[in-house]
Structure 1
């Protein structure tokens, strides 16, 4: 057996190298898992190949789904900021959503809590939550590289982007060649490399695939297109496929660093696809419905891969909404919920690792775009039916555009039983006096 001699205060201690290696291995095995949470912008369920999408090639996400769990019944709010506030705080919007592009300063995010649990934390991509250059740090992120900390610069998220990195406006060496999503992804990869030996959280709210629809670096027109004058839907396919490529880059980095066995990778979209986009899905055509509460506005992809999953490559039809991410991350980190912290969601970790888990019977959505021209809607849904606060009741699986409300007094059997369950759930939230 090889020996290692260490001199300390004039005395020699003989330690077995085997023992040291065992201690290192034990420390690695008991280290908190890393979390990489990636959220595409305006990407509905129908866009991914693994889900039956036929318009775009998404080989990297499809591969991650085959190595993890693909959730087929995950739902967001129909619009960017409401979803972001909900997922970062774990609360339904009636509790803390005060306006588009705003996260209240006193809120606690999953990054705040994971940082307190010893995680190194980083965020890159689209912010859209207000504040100033110190705000991402305030909400728990050690490092950041972001677009739209301040409202504005709509066109400059892609080519020649206007970004802020760790408190300073980012100066680009070659602006005409710079591509925002590449910068975000490089920032994340660099963060992973620097923090490979300790637990880390990466949150990547992507700029892709939100409009303006513009060429990516893989397109011949990338070099010379007019940034403020081009919004062409024909580039949407290229944007989706470039998004998939960026996810693949991050996955490959985790693989090269031997971190996959201790890293949860979560991928989702913040709401449905843009209404200008029509995609082929299982032989049909699906028009995106971002901003509206139909399935095409709220049904999003959700893929989770990670250590000790119950079964690789399976689909799950368990209901998930965006309040579930915070408690899931807390559970992954083996942390306890702070006493004063209110969370509306439930952790998915027991299901992920094969422990006892009671699936949701329903999810609740409180949707008020606050300043955007969309109808205010509050509803409860299960995997087939949806009940709005105005009494409208739909079988949204059979009527995805919600054109034909069901007559309550004619309901029978399972439909009536589901109505009673949803009505009871909706009443619980009505009793909390949510804002009308």
Structure 2
């Protein structure tokens, strides 16, 4: 066992946050998946801590807004593809604390030329910032011969380059250039989002291909994309190891939401359909793994509930950044759990989910039960796809106790959206 005092940490460790796109919990071998090869992610878990109950929002923008601000969407979500510029992100907090900051990968949070810099990232290499996901001929622009933006400047690649290679190189270069000072590198990966297409390691990779003309591509390439995503995780970790900064670098890896719907994976001996966009567990249950040599005990597993509002306070806690007076935070730091302490495990998590303003899904849940604001109450351990709501009159004691606790959780956020809207109208 590692015996580490929370007060004995290095004051400003480096932070590397890797966020895979559309990667559910079931895709990682260390979690019990058997459809794909993820040796580098598995090794990360073997040398660090693996969390079994981390939950995101069901799609990308809601997840990223929650992740970057530490707040539930009920407070600050506006529209799909945007992060409200009035918000304070973890990039702002780390930059203001003296960290060098960079982001590389997928943006999709605002088309302004200065969007990443506005949110605290001094350097950026991004896909889908101001430029569309498709070129004028309808080709997808993220993978083969991509179109990316470097610090707001658009660059077209046409010599067989692969987008995920370029952005991972950018992260590696940033890490090397700043190895002697505290840095925060946020790597929201382009993989493994559709279109499902060959990677440079696929047998039928075509370096002349200008990008998929269909949104989904072909699901048969999903395993290749998972393997390449895993390879790039290994690339980042290897760079940190080669520079000799593993003991001063907290690496966090997670998926941003459930796997896409066409994909069916094998998980613990059974078929597991992708649930991206759904509020069932296959839409929100994502991998979470962290490594910090000498600080996090190797091969540790934690079953505590974690949600995406918890990442910001956890990273700031690790970096000794005081956020108490800077912004409202819904998240709870899980740094103590990373360091082998009990911490303050969540009793429940909350979700306000309405990505395109068409159908609100609001719920509170624990590891066994889920209660929607509309009244549906499920035992999600026994009813994974939430087909049969529990009736109050037939609930056992355990279910009733959870129901009452989750009612209180929902009540806590009941009027926040309306109150914020009224405040905004009052200012206008």
User: Would you call these one fold, judging by a TM-score over 0.5?
Assistant: yes
* Counterpart-to-counterpart distance in 1, 2:364 and 2:183: 35
* Counterpart-to-counterpart distance in 1, 2:37 and 2:228: 10
* Counterpart-to-counterpart distance in 2, 1:180 and 1:356: 41
Name the residue aligned to 1:95.
Answer: 75
Name the residue aligned to 2:303.
Answer: 317
Deviation string 1:340-382 (CA, Å, 9 cap, x unpaired) is 41010011112212345120000000000115x6x42000000
- For the structure 1 residues 226 and 106, does the alpha-carbon distance in structure 2 shift closer, same or farther, using more than 3 Å as the test? closer
1:343-362 matched pairs, under 5 angstroms: 343-362=329-348
Match of 1:252 among 219, 225, 238: 238
Name the residue aligned to 1:243.
Answer: 229
Alpha-carbon deviation of 1:307?
Answer: 4.1
Deviation string 1:189-246 (CA, Å, 9 cap, x unpaired) is 1101100000100101111011000000001322254623351110000000100000
Deviation string 1:297-350 (CA, Å, 9 cap, x unpaired) is 010000011144353211111000000011011111111115241010011112
Name the residue aligned to 1:211.
Answer: 194
- For the structure 1 residues 31 and 359, does the alpha-carbon distance in structure 2 shift closer, same or farther, using more than 3 Å as the test? closer
Match of 1:326 among 312, 327, 330: 312
Contact 1:31-1:199 at 8 Å conserved across structures: no
- For the structure 1 residues 74 and 30, does the alpha-carbon distance in structure 2 shift closer, same or farther, using more than 3 Å as the test? closer
- SS of the equivalent of 1:91 reads coil
Name the residue aligned to 2:365.
Answer: 381
Contact 1:268-1:302 at 8 Å conserved across structures: yes
1:9-408 matched pairs, under 5 angstroms: 30=10, 32-150=12-130, 152-154=132-134, 155-172=140-157, 175-223=158-206, 224-225=208-209, 227-229=211-213, 231-337=217-323, 339-370=325-356, 375-408=359-392
- SS of the equivalent of 2:204 reads helix
Deviation string 1:124-175 (CA, Å, 9 cap, x unpaired) is 0000001322111111001110000126224110011110002311243xx2
Deviation string 1:90-148 (CA, Å, 9 cap, x unpaired) is 11001111000011111111110111111100000000001322111111001110000
Higher mean C-alpha displacement, 264-273 vs 215-224: 215-224
* Counterpart-to-counterpart distance in 2, 1:163 and 1:151: 8
Contact 2:144-2:210 at 8 Å conserved across structures: no
Query: Gaps spanning 5+ residues in structure 1: where?
Result: 1-28
Contact 2:75-2:416 at 8 Å conserved across structures: no
Q: TM-score, normalised by structure 1?
A: 0.90
Name the residue aligned to 2:401.
Answer: 417
Contact 2:247-2:295 at 8 Å conserved across structures: no
Higher mean C-alpha displacement, 299-308 vs 285-294: 299-308
Give the number of the structure whose alpha-carbon radius of gyration is greater.
1
Contact 2:71-2:331 at 8 Å conserved across structures: yes
Alignment length, in residue pairs? 404
Q: TM-score, normalised by structure 2?
A: 0.91
Task: Provide the alpha-carbon RMSD of the alignment.
Answer: 1.7
Contact 2:10-2:248 at 8 Å conserved across structures: no
* Counterpart-to-counterpart distance in 1, 2:231 and 2:245: 19
- SS of the equivalent of 1:303 reads strand
- SS of the equivalent of 1:35 reads strand
Name the residue aligned to 1:15.
Answer: none
